[in-house]
Amino acid sequence: MIRIRTGTAWRHDPRLRAMLGPARAAGRTAARTIVDALAIEVDGIDLTAGRAEGPLLPSLEALLRAVARVLGGAPHATVAFPDGGLELLVRRRGASALLTIVSVARPSRVLARDVEVELEALSAAALAAAADFCRQLARIAPDATRGARRLQAAARDLRRTGPALPRVPSAEVRRERPHAGRAGPVACAFELHEDDALLAYEGGRPDLGSLLAPGTVTIRAADGAEIVALPGFPFLLLRDLNGLSRGILDALQRGEREYAGTLARAGRAAALTLRLDLVAGRISAGGPATPCPPLDLVRAVSGAALELGRTARARNPRQAENGFLLELEASAAERLALAEELAAGDRPGATAAPGRAPRRLRALSQEPLGPGRLRRLGFQRRLALDVGRPAGAGLLAAGRTLVAAGEDGLAAIDPAGAEVRWRAEGCDLAAVVPGAVVAVRGDRVTARALRDGHPLWTVPLPGGAPSAAIALARGPWALAGHGALTGLDPATGGVLWRFAPPAAGALRVRGFGGIAAVAAGTGFLYGVDAAGRVAWRVRGPGAFLGPPAAAAGACVAAAEVGAGAAVLAVDPASGVRLWEAPLDVLPTAPPLAWGARVVVGGTVAGDPAVTVLQRTGAPAWTVAPDLRGAPRLAVAGPLLAIQDASGALVALARDGEVRWTRPASPGVPPPAPAAPVSTRGLLLAAGDGIACLDARTGELLGTIPGVAPVRLFADDALRIVAMDADGVVSVLTLTTHLSVV
């Protein structure tokens, strides 16, 4: 007996019920963003193990259309559950359907294989699940059922589809001979026991199911001794081995001595751990160590993956259009090329031949990610270093260089080459100024050349510990400390001037060309020029809560006023007061520019709230998202992303309406996760790992486990630098992507 059920948590979500309310025009769109689990139960056992999660409307629609395809005569069809990292494969065998559930997260694992159910029963269960979901949706919000029209159309198509004989591939199914990878001291071979799945692919779309031909992958040493033999699906096995190859190459580049990786075994067997001694060139797969040079292993695995691609296309030329196969071939070719370069002398510590310049590693392609809708992204960790607990901002961008500042170290990183340009002692505060890095440690201030880290000068710290350092246009560098702003000579570090407003307390500063906007605790906002003179002074509505910001063509700063707050905007050149806007929100961060608008995020009685002001200071709207604690904001094109400390996200449109929501990811987030970062239509959200989301829809495109950033940076080439609370900095680069055209 088969039964398909949808989760019930979405029905009890008050935020979602409000979005789906009858008065909401956006209810139809919100209906397609309902995210919950989908259970496929056979004899009371959920084949998906509770991991088939995603937007319910698209998932149910895809399931109905997949069943209709198989019922109509197609040999197989697949359904993707991207949030859970699962693929459901439905195969036709006579009047029955064989269900296979594959977890595509590495190491790949087959959760259920060839579970036989009656095809008509599968069709009835899918239709019943869709009908039940539509009834529940209509009960909560009748107007929102318009968003389910595509699901209802898919249900009608399935009901009209009559049983048809399955289409049998014309080519004879045969047992393949073993295919070996690149010849060398280590051999990797795969054997396909049958290839009807390859032949069934009709082209035009990514299709994992057509690549799941059963077989075996075997790795042998130079003397022919078997290192490991893995039964299962060669495509999944080689995909996982290809991922291990990336880890081996990274370990070699970092100069590590050992590397360990895991591979999933067939059925419910425990994962297999491969341990490599990178120095002695030996491998152990749960038994005695065998000679196995690491680069030869990478060559053999990459060669076998490429051979699998050639075999698939030879058996069915349409496989050249399969995105899953293209992804495997591209990553295998990249690893093979990198292995060749490392073998030619690019390993750390290798000495170049006399008279020859050392070769540089081939840079990853930075071509556009491809046409169509992104479905998956994959990243690799290319560099990791420890600089101690973050000092101040922690990560500082300076053109193509990123400076990581911690209590135990200061490092300049090249994200493009994933290399450390220079390192120095740790600091309490660091700032990037033109051509240099200013670092404060104890009672000393040091300036280092940005290019090579060479010390330019070191002087005693003038005054107390500073909170910020800026550079004025064609002028001095300025340190903002308790009660004073001090101008330093960029050439010598000598004190040029000192600006100390009366009873100022803590000073917050922001540079506007040749003017430093200084917010004092007394409620005055000063404009100080490059000579240390007061260019203008404006009395604010109250004590300023943070540094000024640039937004709406003005210098804006938030101040505390009674139980609420207000935002003051002035002309940074003249100090002319432009406007003042009262707020009910108590700001927890400086104002943020959103096009021509100003966004202020904060709390009201401890609950998060966001206020948006027009360019003139007139209020546009205020919303209280269903989140917890102080919000963290990021502008993602036309949307405003709001994240709380747990990692939950809400995206708002220009009119303040909710475009999508996303619950917190599982796991324990860092104590103060970094604010989201938007780049190239993606939104990177920090938590227990980094979630890569489609900024427009909130769809999960990829995850980066093993990092919990409190500081996060990303550039337009999708090079990501993350720093955790302990000061471990990770550089991650894009390895693969999959676009649905």
Report the distance separating Cα 80 and Cα 340, nearest Å: 36
Instruction: Say if residues 323 and 312 touch (Cβ distance below 8 Å).
Output: no
- Across 11-15, 360-364, 448-452, least confident range: 360-364
Residue 291: is its pLDDT beyond 50? yes
Q: What is the pLDDT of residue 184?
A: 59
Tokens found for residue 650:
């809400």
Single-letter residue type at 559 = A
Domain holding 128, by residue range, is 2-160
Query: Does 427 fall in a domain?
Result: no
Percent of the chain residues topping a pLDDT of 90: 32
* Three-state SS at 295: helix
Query: Does 130 fall in a domain?
Result: yes
Number of domains forming the structure of the chain = 3
Q: Tell me the mean pLDDT in the region 604-623.
A: 91
Residue 168: is its pLDDT beyond 60? no
End-to-end Cα, the chain, rounded Å: 37
Report the distance separating Cα 618 and Cα 631, nearest Å: 22
Tokens found for residue 569:
């905007």
Residue 355: is its pLDDT beyond 60? no
Tokens found for residue 738:
């999959």
Tens digits of residue pLDDT in 53-82: 777 788 888 888 888 888 887 777 888 776
Cis before 107? omega within 30? yes
* Selected residue with higher pLDDT from 82 and 87: 87
Residue 138: is its pLDDT beyond 50? yes
Tokens found for residue 699:
């769809």
Per-position DSSP letters for 66-111, written without gaps between them: HHHHHHTT-SEEEEEETTTTEEEEEEEETTEEEEEEEE-SSSPEEE
Query: Does 555 fall in a domain?
Result: no
Are residue 223 and residue 325 in the same domain, yes or no? yes
Which DSSP letter does residue 175 get?
A: P
Q: Tell me the mean pLDDT in the region 75-90.
A: 75
pTM of the model: 0.53
How many Cα atoms are found within 13 Å in the side-chain-facing hemisphere of 462? Answer: 22
* Selected residue with higher pLDDT from 25 and 178: 178
Instruction: Say if residues 258 and 327 touch (Cβ distance below 8 Å).
Output: no
Query: Does 518 fall in a domain?
Result: no
Tens digits of residue pLDDT in 175-223: 444 555 544 578 899 888 876 777 777 766 677 878 888 889 999 888 8
Q: What is the pLDDT of residue 364?
A: 35
Query: Does 381 fall in a domain?
Result: yes
How far is CA 362 from its chain centroid?
24
Q: What is the pLDDT of residue 12?
A: 65
Q: What is the pLDDT of residue 88?
A: 84
Q: What is the pLDDT of residue 374?
A: 52
Q: For the chain, how are helix, strand and coil distributed in percent, rounded to 5?
A: 20, 40, 40
Q: What is the pLDDT of residue 706?
A: 85
Burial (Cβ within 10 Å: 0-12, 13-18, ≥19) of residue 12:
exposed
Report the distance separating Cα 377 and Cα 736, nearest Å: 6
Please choose, from the candidates 553, 542, 545, 544, the residue with its C-alpha nearest in 3D space to the C-alpha of residue 576: 553
* Selected residue with higher pLDDT from 336 and 640: 640
Report the distance separating Cα 625 and Cα 642, nearest Å: 8
Are residue 261 and residue 379 in the same domain, yes or no? no
Are residue 95 and residue 193 in the same domain, yes or no? no
- Across 140-154, 201-215, 338-352, least confident range: 338-352
Are residue 16 and residue 152 in the same domain, yes or no? yes
Q: What is the pLDDT of residue 106?
A: 66
Q: Tell me the mean pLDDT in the region 714-731.
A: 91
How far is CA 369 from its chain centroid?
15
Sign, CA dihedral 392-394-397-400, equals positive
Angle between helical axes of 56-71 and 149-160 (0-180°, round to 10): 20
Tens digits of residue pLDDT in 438-493: 999 999 999 999 999 999 999 999 888 898 999 998 789 999 988 899 999 999 99
Q: What is the pLDDT of residue 179?
A: 56
Residue 741: is its pLDDT beyond 60? no
Tokens found for residue 85:
């990292």
Instruction: Count CB atoms within 10 A of the CB of residue 716.
Output: 8
Instruction: Say if residues 472 and 514 touch (Cβ distance below 8 Å).
Output: yes
Report the distance separating Cα 264 and Cα 227, nearest Å: 16
- Residue 377: enclosing H or E segment and its boundaries? strand 373-386
Instruction: Say if residues 548 and 564 touch (Cβ distance below 8 Å).
Output: no
Mean pLDDT estimate for the chain: 82
Which residue reads 């042998």 in tokens? 220
Residue 529: is its pLDDT beyond 90? yes
How many Cα atoms are found within 13 Å in the side-chain-facing hemisphere of 530? Answer: 12
Instruction: Say if residues 6 and 56 touch (Cβ distance below 8 Å).
Output: yes
As a three-state string, the secondary structure of 703-717 is EECCCCEEEEEECCC
Which residue reads 């007996």 in tokens? 1
> What's the CA angle centered on 538, arms 535 and 544, to 5 degrees?
115
Are residue 156 and residue 195 in the same domain, yes or no? no
Core vs surface per residue 694-705: b (16+ CB within 10 A) or e:
bbbbbbbbbbbe
Are residue 226 and residue 338 in the same domain, yes or no? yes
Are residue 228 and residue 305 in the same domain, yes or no? yes
Query: Does 327 fall in a domain?
Result: yes
**CATH code at position 130:** 3.30.2450
Are residue 149 and residue 275 in the same domain, yes or no? no
Q: What is the pLDDT of residue 359?
A: 32
Q: Tell me the mean pLDDT in the region 234-246.
A: 87
- Across 107-116, 516-525, 635-644, least confident range: 107-116
Which whole-number Å values give the CA distances from 311 to 76, 108, 168, 190, 329, in the listed order? Answer: 20, 21, 20, 11, 12
Per-position DSSP letters for 581-601, written without gaps between them: EEESSEESS--EEETTEEEEE
Query: Does 14 fall in a domain?
Result: yes
Percent of the chain residues topping a pLDDT of 70: 85
Backbone angles phi, psi at 403, to 5 degrees: -100, 125
Report the distance separating Cα 163 and Cα 726, nearest Å: 61
Tens digits of residue pLDDT in 535-574: 999 999 999 999 999 998 899 999 998 778 999 999 999 9
* Strands 215-220, 226-232: pairing kind: antiparallel
- Across 13-22, 635-644, 718-727, least confident range: 13-22
Residue 246: is its pLDDT beyond 70? yes
Query: Does 94 fall in a domain?
Result: yes
Residue 361: is its pLDDT beyond 50? no
Instruction: Say if residues 647 and 687 touch (Cβ distance below 8 Å).
Output: yes
Which residue reads 């910001």 in tokens? 549
Angle between helical axes of 149-160 and 119-140 (0-180°, round to 10): 150
User: Confidence band (pLDDT; 50, 70, 90) for 371?
Assistant: very low
> What's the CA angle centered on 35, arms 32 and 36, to 5 degrees?
135
Residue 261: is its pLDDT beyond 90? no
* Strands 35-42, 215-220: pairing kind: unpaired
Which whole-number Å values give the CA distances from 389 to 392, 408, 409, 427, 726, in the listed order? Answer: 10, 7, 9, 10, 5
Are residue 96 and residue 140 in the same domain, yes or no? yes
Are residue 273 and residue 128 in the same domain, yes or no? no
Burial (Cβ within 10 Å: 0-12, 13-18, ≥19) of residue 467:
middle
Q: What is the pLDDT of residue 344?
A: 60
Q: Tell me the mean pLDDT in the region 133-156.
A: 76
Are residue 144 and residue 89 in the same domain, yes or no? yes
Burial (Cβ within 10 Å: 0-12, 13-18, ≥19) of residue 671:
exposed
Report the distance separating Cα 105 and Cα 704, nearest Å: 11
Q: In what order do the strands lie in the sheet with 677-679?
A: 677-679, 682-687, 689-694, 700-704
Report the distance separating Cα 559 and Cα 520, nearest Å: 10
User: Confidence band (pLDDT; 50, 70, 90) for 84?
Assistant: low
Tokens found for residue 16:
């979602």
Q: What is the pLDDT of residue 587?
A: 93
Are residue 225 and residue 295 in the same domain, yes or no? yes
Q: Determine the number of helices (DSSP H) and then strands (DSSP E) in the chain.
A: 9, 53
Report the distance separating Cα 339 and Cα 115, nearest Å: 41
Core vs surface per residue 60-83: b (16+ CB within 10 A) or e:
bbbbbbbbbbbbbebbbbbbbbbb
